[in-house]
Amino acid sequence: MAFIKNISSNGLTDNELLVTYKQNGDVAVLGDLYQRYMDLVYGVCLKYYKEPETAKDAVMQIFEELVEKLKKHEVDNFKGWLHQVAKNHCLMQLRKTQKVKTVEFNTELMQSGENMHLDSVLEKEENFKKLAGCMESLTGDQETAIRLFYLDGKSYNEIVAISGIEWNAVRSLIQNGRRNLKLCMEKAIAAESTNDIYLTKEN
């Protein structure tokens, strides 16, 4: 995109650039990598904001976020991860302007079909209110692990250190908690849909 200076990629792969950035923290290297997918990020932002200038500003803001995010996250598929980061950024900014409380989901596990389905459910404005209730439906260590991982952005190892729960148990809690959260959201949406149909018939 014309509003960000082009940088030579030197023929390196995404993963090679990621490793280089993590090793030396050179923002120019990150800029090189980011440039490859700026059109993708801009497209996502334009979809949500509808205004080209606002979308361009968001592209720059997301780049600034990556400077710190990539120091904390292990990323195997940069393009897919970045796509999710861009969506999270736009959704969070839109919710802030509309004064609606939301959460930003950690993207490390947003790779499987189950996760992508949950993500698509959460994209819808009306579903964020249901999310709070479903989070409360999780119990004990499961809720703790989900909140630390998704809401606080903690890694598995950090959760182990904070909670004292073994690594394998943390992994299981997050997987099961995510599944329960997905089921709860689906039930809440289905119940609302049924109620809407009932009210329509009454009218």
Domain extents in the chain = 1-100, 104-203
End-to-end C-alpha distance for the chain, whole angstroms: 52
Give residue-wise pLDDT tens across range 125-159: 455 566 767 777 787 788 888 877 776 677 888 88
Any residues with CB less than 8 A from the CB of 103 and at least 6 apart, and which? 131, 150, 151
pTM of the model: 0.49
**Is it true that 1-100 and 104-203 share their CATH fold?**
no
pLDDT the model gives residue 76: 84
Give residue-wise pLDDT tens across range 87-118: 888 888 887 765 434 444 444 444 444 444 44
Decide: residue 197, CB within 10 A, 0-12 exposed, 13-18 middle, 19+ buried.
exposed
Nearest CA to 157 among 60, 74, 100?
74
Q: Judge whether residue 167 has pLDDT over 50.
A: yes
If one compares 6 and 145, the residue with the highest pLDDT of the two is 145
- Residue 166, classed as helix, strand or coil, is coil
Q: Tokens in use for 153? A: 């952005």
Out of 1.20.1270.360, 1.10.1740.10, 1.10.1040.10, 1.20.1510.10, select the CATH number for domain 1-100. 1.10.1740.10
Give residue-wise pLDDT tens across range 38-63: 999 999 999 988 899 999 999 999 99
Average pLDDT value for the chain: 76
What's the gap between Cα 119 and its chain centre? 8
Looking from the CA of 21 toward its CB, the CA atoms found within 13 Å total 27
pLDDT the model gives residue 121: 47
Whether residue 45 contacts residue 90, with contact meaning beta carbons closer than 8 Å, is answered with: yes
Task: Specify whether domain 104-203 bears CATH 1.10.730.10.
Answer: no
